[in-house]
């Protein structure tokens, strides 16, 4: 969330950030008006408390002088009633202020390209050569069906639309990719975790999925638990409500998890194949670092995610998201987009983001500087390293042969225990 001091002293920067995102800044205006009312009522409450304390001292003095318990004065009763009323009013104002704060998105970094939507994203670099074929390359849904490794019909029978069963070599390839990605992250200094696939409300508030994106989540009925949409949630919240030592930073965590998303509002988008599923596998990269290092950490984390694509020999590009396409909690995001010849386009396979102290304020994750100064909020970052199903799609489509067989990239062969999926 945004620092309250910034909302009070520099609201123009937050308003400018919301406008750059294409959003209405009225929430900031409302927050400032309510904050002004709360501060005024807090001043009145302090005056009432002082009057109450003065009345109590006078009451004690009267008691000592007369040695008789004097009756409460009308003024004391009035002060007590006034305090009760204004305390309730301040509580209601504080609740509304907190609700507004949780719905105000992060302010985009100055380096983010200003734009209305994905059409204004900026391509930073293109890596690898797009493969050429002497035949019409098939999309992965045709390849998977031809090879008998993707069963869309039975997936739909078991769990409805946007569900798929991976069979035989398809399942083996998925498992091989998970292990390959985790080992690659380990080489880059990430500590592997295996967190719960369920998270409580506080955790989802901490990383920004709640309250704004509740419709995108699967909730466990009758419990304060949600199926996680990404390992970002448990990994970032691992240190929620903690104060770390600066010497511990940066912290680098990685995890394989199943991810669950309701895909609300995506009806009609990517209805074929594995691109947009209700549940999917992902290997996540998360960093907690100091404010001074977070910009460099984003470049580092992005390079770590890129290394997976490079080792697999998959062509891709790196794109800076514009202000209009930026995620709610992110200050800056690079998307990695892999080339899919069966669909003749680039598709997102990873988003690498820096959040500044936005998530850390929500989750109360701080560190104590080496000099013993007052604790400061950490800066958080995360990125997919990578989305496993989309990587499987990219391997199928980029490495297909005329007969439908698939070449397995050299870096993956020891994990897959083979060099191809036969037709």
List the catalytic residue out of 294, 361, 390, 397.
Answer: 390
Number of structural domains in the chain: 2
pLDDT at residue 66 tops 70: no
In the prediction, which pLDDT does 372 show? Answer: 84
Reply yes or no on whether 252 is catalytic.
no
In the prediction, which pLDDT does 63 show? Answer: 73
User: CA-to-CA distance for 384 and 283, rounded, in angstroms?
Assistant: 6
68 pLDDT tier (thresholds 50, 70, 90): low
Q: Which residues contact 84 (CB under 8 A, 6 or more apart)?
A: none
* Within a domain: 247: yes
pLDDT at residue 67 tops 80: no
Q: Are residues 230 and 305 in the same domain?
A: yes
* Within a domain: 58: yes
CATH number assigned to the domain comprising residue 97: 1.10.287
pLDDT at residue 301 tops 60: yes
pLDDT at residue 5 tops 70: yes
Q: Are residues 77 and 129 in the same domain?
A: no
In the prediction, which pLDDT does 162 show? Answer: 93
Q: Are residues 98 and 243 in the same domain?
A: no
* Within a domain: 112: no
Q: Are residues 94 and 129 in the same domain?
A: no
- Per the document, the length of the chain is 423
User: CA-to-CA distance for 175 and 15, rounded, in angstroms?
Assistant: 46
Lowest mean pLDDT, pick from 71-80, 106-115, 176-185: 71-80
69 pLDDT tier (thresholds 50, 70, 90): low
User: Among 80, 103, 126, which residue terminates a domain?
Assistant: 103
Q: How large is the average pLDDT for residues 142-146?
A: 97
Q: Are residues 85 and 134 in the same domain?
A: no
Q: What would the pLDDT profile of 337-349 be if each residue is shown by its tens digit?
A: 999 999 999 999 9
CA angle, corner 287, sides to 284 and 293, nearest 5? 145
φ, ψ at 279 (rounded to 5°): -140, 145
Q: Which residues contact 396 (CB under 8 A, 6 or more apart)?
A: 140, 143, 144, 342, 406
Reply yes or no on whether 261 is catalytic.
yes
Reply yes or no on whether 49 is catalytic.
no
List the catalytic residue out of 32, 276, 293, 311.
Answer: 276
Average pLDDT over the chain reads 95
Q: What would the pLDDT profile of 81-90 be if each residue is shown by its tens digit?
A: 999 999 999 9
List the catalytic residue out of 203, 351, 353, 384.
Answer: 351
Q: How large is the average pLDDT for residues 286-293?
A: 98
* Within a domain: 70: yes
177: closest CA among 396, 422, 405? 396
Q: How large is the average pLDDT for residues 42-53?
A: 91
Q: Are residues 169 and 52 in the same domain?
A: no
pLDDT at residue 376 tops 60: yes
394 sits in which H/E element: helix 388-398
* Within a domain: 110: no
Q: Are residues 82 and 166 in the same domain?
A: no
pLDDT at residue 60 tops 80: no
Q: Are residues 80 and 152 in the same domain?
A: no
65 pLDDT tier (thresholds 50, 70, 90): confident
pLDDT at residue 271 tops 90: no
Q: What would the pLDDT profile of 377-423 be if each residue is shown by its tens digit?
A: 999 999 999 999 999 999 999 999 999 999 999 999 999 999 999 99
Reply yes or no on whether 390 is catalytic.
yes
* Within a domain: 252: yes
User: Among 103, 137, 155, which residue terminates a domain?
Assistant: 103
User: CA-to-CA distance for 386 and 191, rounded, in angstroms?
Assistant: 16
262 contacts 272 by C-beta, under 8 angstroms: no
Tokens standing for 248? Answer: 């511990």
Q: How large is the average pLDDT for residues 282-289?
A: 98
Lowest mean pLDDT, pick from 56-60, 73-77, 211-215, 230-234: 73-77
- In Å, what is the CA distance from 364 to each residue of 187, 199, 242, 244, 357? 30, 17, 7, 11, 10
Q: Are residues 10 and 94 in the same domain?
A: yes
Q: Are residues 174 and 309 in the same domain?
A: yes
pLDDT at residue 140 tops 90: yes
| Angle subtended by helix axes 169-187 and 294-312, to nearest 10 | 140
Q: How large is the average pLDDT for residues 50-63?
A: 80
* Within a domain: 111: no
Q: Are residues 209 and 62 in the same domain?
A: no
CATH number assigned to the domain comprising residue 162: 3.30.930.10
* Within a domain: 95: yes
List the catalytic residue out of 261, 347, 361, 366.
Answer: 261
Q: Which domain holds residue 64?
A: 4-103
In the prediction, which pLDDT does 313 show? Answer: 98
Q: Are residues 27 and 162 in the same domain?
A: no
pLDDT at residue 71 tops 60: no
List the catalytic residue out of 163, 348, 368, 407.
Answer: 348
Q: What would the pLDDT profile of 180-238 be if each residue is shown by its tens digit?
A: 999 999 999 999 999 999 999 999 999 999 999 999 999 999 999 999 999 999 999 99
In the prediction, which pLDDT does 76 show? Answer: 77
Residue matched to tokens 């002004």: 36
Mode of pairing for the β-strands spanning 198-199 and 345-354: unpaired
């Amino acid at each position: 969330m945004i620092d309250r001091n910034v909302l009070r002293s520099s609201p123009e920067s937050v308003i400018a950030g919301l406008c750059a995102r294409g959003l209405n800044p009225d929430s900031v205006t409302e927050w400032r008006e309510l904050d002004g009312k709360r501060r005024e009522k807090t001043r009145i409450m302090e005056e009432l408390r002082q009057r109450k304390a003065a009345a109590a001292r006078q009451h004690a003095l009267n008691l000592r002088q007369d040695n008789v318990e004097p009756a409460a004065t009308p003024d004391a009763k009035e002060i007590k009633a006034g305090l009760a009323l204004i305390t309730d009013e301040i509580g209601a104002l504080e609740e509304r202020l907190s609700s507004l704060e949780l719905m105000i998105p992060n302010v985009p970094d100055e380096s983010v390209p200003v734009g209305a939507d994905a059409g204004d994203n900026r391509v930073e670099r293109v890596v690898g050569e797009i493969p050429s074929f002497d035949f019409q390359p098939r999309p992965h849904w045709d390849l998977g069906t031809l090879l008998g490794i993707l069963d869309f019909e039975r997936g739909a029978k078991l769990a409805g639309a946007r569900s798929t069963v991976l069979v035989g070599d398809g399942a083996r390839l998925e498992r091989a990719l998970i292990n390959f990605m985790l080992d690659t992250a380990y080489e880059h200094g990430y500590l592997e975790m295996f967190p719960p696939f369920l998270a409580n409300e506080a955790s989802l508030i901490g990383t920004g999925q709640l309250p704004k994106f509740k419709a995108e989540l699967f909730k466990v009925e009758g419990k304060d638990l949600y199926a996680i949409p990404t390992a970002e949630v448990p990994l970032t919240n691992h240190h929620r409500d903690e104060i770390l030592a600066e010497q511990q930073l940066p912290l680098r965590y990685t995890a394989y998890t199943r991810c669950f998303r309701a895909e609300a509002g995506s009806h009609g988008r990517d209805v074929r194949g594995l691109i947009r599923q209700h549940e999917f596998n992902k290997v996540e990269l998360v960093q907690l670092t100091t404010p001074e290092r977070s910009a460099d950490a984003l470049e580092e984390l992005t390079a770590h995610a890129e290394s997976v694509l490079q080792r697999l020999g998959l062509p891709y590009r790196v794109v800076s998201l514009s202000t209009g396409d930026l995620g709610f909690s992110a200050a800056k995001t690079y998307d990695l987009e892999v080339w899919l010849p069966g669909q003749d386009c680039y598709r997102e396979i990873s988003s690498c983001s820096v959040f500044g102290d936005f998530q850390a304020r929500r989750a109360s994750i701080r560190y104590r500087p080496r000099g013993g100064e007052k604790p400061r909020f950490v800066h958080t970052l995360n990125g997919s390293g990578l989305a496993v199903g989309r990587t499987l799609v990219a391997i199928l489509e980029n490495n297909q042969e005329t007969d439908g067989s698939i070449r397995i990239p050299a870096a993956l062969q020891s994990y897959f225990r083979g060099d191809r999926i036969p037709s």
